[in-house]
Structure 1
Amino acid sequence: MKTNTFSTDAIYSEIVGIPYYRWSTAIQGKGDSLRRQSFKAEEWSKRTGIPLADEALIDDGVSAFRGKNLKDGALGAFLTAAQEGKFVIGSFLLIESIDRLSRQGAFKTAAIVQDIWSAGISIVTLADDKTYHPDCNDMDALWIVLVAMRAKEESVTKEFRTRDSYAKRYEHAKKTGVLPVQSMFGWLTKDPQTGKAIFDGERKPAIVERICDMSLAGLGLPKIAKTLNAAGEQPFAIEKRSKGTAAYWTVANVAHILKNPALYGDYHRKDGTVMVGIFPPVITKDDFNRIQAGMAQRQRTGRGNKGQAYSNLFGGIGKCHYCGEPMTIRNPKRGRATQFYCKGKLVGKCHARPWNYEVFETAFLSFVNEIDLQAIMHGGGGSRTDEITQALQSLEGERLNTQKAQDAFIEMIKKNPVLAPSFATAMVDNQTKLDAISEQLKVLESERNKFRAEKSASTEANLVEFPKVGAGPGEVTVEQLYHLRAKTAEHIRTIVEQVRLKREPASKFGARFTVEFKGGGLRTVHVDYTSPRKPFAITNDDESGNPDTIPEDAETALELMKHVIADSAEEIHWFIENGELDSANEMMENFRSFADTIRQRVE
């Protein structure tokens, strides 16, 4: 909808004619509506000698059936200006016919007309060259009422016929597989012989497949759009776009493609009905669901600028131990390491010390063995953890889509309770489906946790590293490194709920982070800041029975225990002061277990 609202700045000192042009659809706007209506206004001005206002009122693609032109459009802005006295009494509002003002029936149309008259403005209908003055006779007023009644009846009839036509077309499509041409999407066209949907050449579906692959690899919408623009790829149907529309890929049109069930062959109508397998699929339904889950996850935790090589793998899940605010990358000064800062610290609301980002990332990837960096580097296929992750993503995406459909039904029923019986069966089916998905998610999460426990039993550091950027053997381009790191970040977000970081430079044991896994379980890594691949200690709180890792040297173990005693006492005191007794008891129990392990080593 394009609406040119009327300017209320101008104040007229003479009687003028104010043209009001309105049409309901963009297609009408491209046709003869404006020329026809403006020509009649100019003819009226020449005939009467009354000048036209400097600016016409235009409601382009705005329906009067629901009163949108009065509520949000130029007509409403004009009425406000008229009531403020910005037009000389005796001026004229020029309309093609009464139905240009409203198609809401006699009472509402009469109210609009009365408001215009109350401002001292007469109404001219150009189609029949009739003028309705504020002091017009009863017959003229009655004629306005009759025209308004007819206009509403026409709109109701048109709406019914349109809906009926669509219903018949889609009922026919269900039987034949032939959809109306307006139901084709950018990468599809109609087979001239069968009328069914086929791919529109090879380039367009290849672009769509590339968009899907990039999303599955963890790239966000801005990065996908930027990649396509850099490659010189034009968006679809650019020749049909209206003037002023972007002639390049945007976040909006990438999102439109990725959210479209036509990707796996289905057509979803606005009324909730689904036509299965009517389009040639680009990807599987499982991959479509994974894309939805990935986009939703990035929307919650991974937003923001990722830098040239996806600098921060922990966007949205890295949190400050003290205040709980997200951790963020801060561009370093020349010659200094990249810092990982608490956002609360940056605005003076937290005392947390920053981390060297490279130290943290190295320690995390070394001792959170559930992140299978080796598999990610080689395509991520084949490993059971990757299979479980993909299945969880697919189910989560299916849950999101089903919940979205359920929410849509609820909103429609709120607006029109009469629809409830017709949606009842579909809503019961949706709820049954949501319950089944919930059970499947529990089973897969249980299997993932079991597999994670087996992986975490290894205390060996993961020595795999990201490749360097360059042209030598084993080196990659900046773009390739970005993709690898994006995929790793995506994998981390499917396994890890959050990571809480704490650093106290006064002690060599002062750097630690705690990983909270999805589905339960914690792991704390006490990092040796000078050698992040050799932590002082690793403790697991996931009921897996996996042994904790503590220093081999008895003296170092005792030093670490003293530090943990002081650190734990401070936090337990805080919990008690703030009434969080359960958290205090849990921390005391964890400390006892850790202390017992160190005592056994020392003895």
Structure 2
Amino acid sequence: MPTAYPYIRFSDKSQEKGNSLHRQRDLARAVAERRGLTLGKEFLDLGVSAYRGKNADQGALNSFREEVREGRITGDSWLLLEDFDRMSRREFRWFYPLFLELIDAGITICTTADDRVYNEGNADDLEVTLLLVIKGSTSNLESAKKSKRLIARWTTWRETGHRTAVCPAWVYFMDGEYHRNERRVPIVQMIFDLAESGIGAHGIAKILNGNPATPPFEHMNGKPGKKWHPTTIANILTGRHVLGWYQPCRVVDGRQEPVGDPVQRYPAIISEAQWHRVQARRKTNPRGNRGETMSNLFTGLLRCGRCGGVMKVKTSYATKKRPGKDHRYFVCTSAMMNSGCEANTHYPIEQVEKAILDHTPEYRLHELFSDPGTAQQLKALDDQITDLKRKFEDTERRKANAIDRAESLPQGDPLIIEYETRARTYSADLRASHEALKALEIQKVALATRIDERADSEGKARELRAKIAEAEGKELLKLRASLSQALRTFIDELWFRGEMFTVVLHGAGKVHHFQVVNGKGRAAGRTVEYAGATYWNNDEMRRVVLG
């Protein structure tokens, strides 16, 4: 008794709530029972379009084809589908080779809506070929019309500013307008404040999940959110919806592509200045999950002086045999993993931090940051931004002129196409200019923020240390994140070799040396002493540090 494999497909996931799935499944069962076939596993493409062939190239239908090619589905098997539009809605030239591929493999295809069978015995009949041409072309034309109607509708909505209830989670739609959700807006503003203080997406998610007053937003279907996820936080921080902008898009090959220019649509809940500061901060933030209290202030800055590799945090936990508190050390990652480095020294984090912070006066930061080149960089960025804005305004004027000229010509005039082409080119130029302008503004804010932060880095570090001594829980995480950012304004790298480690400051090649005393045993018995400063250029410093 041959095995029959039902293939069930519909284009929209919402159809799962209707009758489509049950109807296709019942038709397959009825045909199998009537023809004495054994039902095999189902191949389901639920919410997968056949208009561009995604089901046949990537979906369950492609899986069926692969199993046929590999012999896991034998050549005497049947494929049951409601009609050929379930298999494909592409043009006939794409659909027909797919049909022949299965027939040539010995598969019998049965359309369950009319209980009609197609196999090697009748696939070449003129009647079958004409029927396939009609069915394939009809389904493709229907899908093409539907696609054009949808594109036309969305184009009209975009041009007329049509509004829908689909909007960011911190606004709601009522009486044709978008309004702030006063319960959610403070949470988004809190997310930006935390990000600006130097806390990353993982840390923010932990803080929000630990606070009953900041529950995760509900899903669009009304179901409550389970928890805040770092990806959600990152999307909120990087998106421009918080500034009120909406970017119209269309789906091309399963991916969203921007259409036209962004438009101001929603109420802004974050200032433009803060948004740019957060983007600049995120570029300098260390990546990854930093624990409950951010145990490593120097993530991304630590290097092994023997192999040049990355240092990491290693925790030595207290036990019954070795009671007391847990101790954390900086160790070479390669040495820990036996990957070719023999640097086995453990540097106690608590003492390393204390030594670096205790000796900030020796760094003479006021001399380090009195660099006239910074002002020149700011001026150069301002000049670039001014030139780009002037170019943007000029392109906008040219685009408006092209559209006006196209609309003023009589219908059918060949110059209309030329002006419309120009307008599209200008639109592309505007999008490119907009992205370039955004990038320059982020650079400017990052530079200005770094200057502001460096102005009193020593005082800020001292103030944060005092607060950290009394803080705990989530407040401790926030303060240590801010301290990490303050340190990054003047520390470029930390190199560890033997019982020494070297702090490399930004600019001027100035390095400060520290020595670990009593290097053996638990961290509590070790101390770190300041060993002085020297001036090296980068090549010389690496040659000395790396040996």
The interval holding the TM-score normalised by the smaller chain is 0.7 to 0.9
Whether the 8 Å contact between 2:303 and 2:496 is mirrored in structure 1 is no
1:306 paired with 2:293, answer: no
| Inter-partner Cα distance in structure 2 for 1:465 and 1:206 | 25
Unpaired segments ≥5 residues, structure 1: 1-13, 374-383, 403-416, 506-510, 543-567, 576-603
Amino acid in structure 2 at the alignment position of 1:191: M
Q: 1:231 aligns with which of 174, 188, 211?
A: 211
Rate the CA distance shift 1:573–1:257 in 2: closer, same or farther, 3 A.
closer
Secondary structure of 2:465's partner?
A: coil
Q: Judge conservation of contact 2:109–2:119 (CA < 8 Å) in 1.
A: yes
Deviation (angstroms), 1:82: 2.6
The answer (yes or no) to whether the contact 1:66–1:103 under 8 Å persists in 2 is yes
Cα shift at 1:444: 4.4
Task: Determine whether 1:515 maps to 2:496.
Answer: no
Residue in 1 that maps onto 2:493: 499
Residues 1:72 and 2:58 are matched in the alignment:
yes
**One-letter code of the match for 1:93?**
L
Corresponding residue for residue 341 of structure 2: 350
Q: How far apart are 1:68 and its partner, in Å?
A: 1.4
Find the counterpart in structure 2 of residue 483 from structure 1.
Answer: 478
1:124 aligns with 2:103: no
Change (3 A) 1:153 1:422: farther
CA distance in 2 between counterparts of 1:234 and 1:337 reads 34
1:375-386 matched pairs, under 5 angstroms: none
1:97/1:127 contact within 8 Å kept: yes
Q: Pick from 429, 432, 435: which aligns with 2:433?
A: 429
Which residue of structure 2 aligns with residue 18 of structure 1?
5
Once the two structures are overlaid, the 10-residue window that deviates more, 77-86 or 155-164, is: 77-86
Partners of 2:268 and 2:66 in 1: how far apart? 52
Describe the superposition over 1:147-184 as per-residue Cα deviations: whole angstroms up to 9, x where unpaired: 112222222222222112111112111xxxx52222x1
Cα distance in 2 for partners of 1:462, 1:17 equals 72
Whole-Å Cα distance in 1 between the matches of residues 115 and 464 of structure 2?
81
**CA drift at 1:318:** 2.0
Q: 2:179 aligns with which of 198, 205, 210?
A: 198
Deviation at 1:342, TM superposition (A): 2.1
Closer, same or farther in 2 for the Cα pair 1:372/1:224, shift >3 Å? farther
Give TM-score, length-normalised by structure 1: 0.68
CA contact (8 A) 1:23 1:60 kept: yes
Map of 2:321 onto structure 1: none
- Closer, same or farther in 2 for the Cα pair 1:238/1:428, shift >3 Å? closer
Aligned partner of residue 217 in structure 2, secondary structure: coil
Matched, 1:257 2:248: no
Greater Cα offset, 323-332 or 525-534 = 525-534
8 A Cα contact 2:280 2:442, kept in partner? no
SS in 1 for 2:307: coil
What corresponds to 1:81 in structure 2?
67
1:153 aligns with 2:141: yes
The count of residues paired between Structure 1 and Structure 2 equals 473
Residues 266/223 of structure 1: CA separation in 2 closer, same or farther (3 Å cut): same
State whether residues 367 and 461 of structure 1, in contact with CA within 8 Å, keep that contact through their aligned partners in structure 2.
Answer: no
Letter in 1 for 2:179: I
Query: How far apart are the structure 1 equivalents of 2:502 and 2:115?
Result: 80
Residue number in structure 1 paired with 2:93: 107
**Aligned residue for 2:270?**
283
Output the amino acid matched with 1:144.
L
* Cα deviation code 1:71-126 (max 9, x no counterpart): 22111111222334444544321112111111221121111111111122222222
2:422 & 2:86 partners in 1: Cα distance? 31
User: Is contact 2:202-2:288 (8 Å) kept?
Assistant: no
- Other structure's SS at 1:319 match: strand
What letter matches 2:430 in structure 1?
A: A
Task: Quote the RMSD (CA, aligned, Å).
Answer: 4.2
Please tell me whether the aligned partners of residues 354 and 503 of structure 1 are also in contact (alpha carbons under 8 angstroms): no
User: In the alignment, what sits opposite 1:524?
Assistant: 511
Residue of 215, 221, 242 corresponding to 1:240: 221
Q: Pick from 108, 127, 140: which aligns with 2:128?
A: 140
Match of 2:195 in 1: 215
Partners of 2:93 and 2:186 in 1: how far apart? Answer: 55
CA distance in 1, matches of 2:169, 2:364: 37
- Which of 447, 451, 459 does residue 448 from structure 1 map onto? 451
Shift of residue 443, structure 1, vs aligned partner: 7.3
State how far apart, in whole Å, the 1-side matches of 2:55 and 2:238 are: 31
**Which of structures 1 and 2 has the larger relative contact order (alpha carbons within 8 angstroms, sep 6+)?**
2
Residues 345-365 of structure 1 show CA distances to partners (whole Å, capped at 9, x for unaligned) of 323433443322222212322
Residues 63 and 256 of structure 1: is their aligned pair in 2 closer, same or farther, counting only changes over 3 Å?
same
Stretch moving more, 101-110 or 280-289 = 280-289
Structure 2 match to 1:91: 77
Structure richer in strand, relative to its length? 2
In 2, the alpha carbon distance for the partners of 1:117 and 1:155 equals 25
Shift of 1:30: 2.8
Q: Structure 1 pair 462/485, CA: closer, same or farther in 2 (3 Å)?
A: closer
Structure 2 counterpart of 1:319: 303
| Equivalence for 1:166 | 154
Letter in 1 for 2:164: P
Structure 1 position 338, deviation (Å): 2.5
Work out whether residues 365 and 371 of structure 1, in 8 Å CA contact, stay in contact via their aligned partners in 2. no
Report which stretch shifted further, 330-339 or 206-215.
330-339
CA contact (8 A) 2:247 2:259 kept: yes
Counterpart Cα distance in 2 of 1:196 and 1:15: 60
Structure 2 distance, partners of 1:220, 1:264, is 20
The whole-number CA distance in structure 2 between the counterparts of 1:316 and 1:205 is 33
Could you tell me how far 1:513 is from its partner in structure 2? 1.4
Give runs of aligned pairs for residues 319-468 of structure 1, distance below 5 A.
319-334=303-318, 335=324, 337-348=327-338, 349-352=340-343, 353-368=345-360, 421=425, 424-426=428-430, 429-430=433-434, 433=437, 437=441, 440=444, 444=448, 448=451, 466-467=465-466
Q: Is the 8 A contact 1:513 1:526 kept in 2?
A: yes
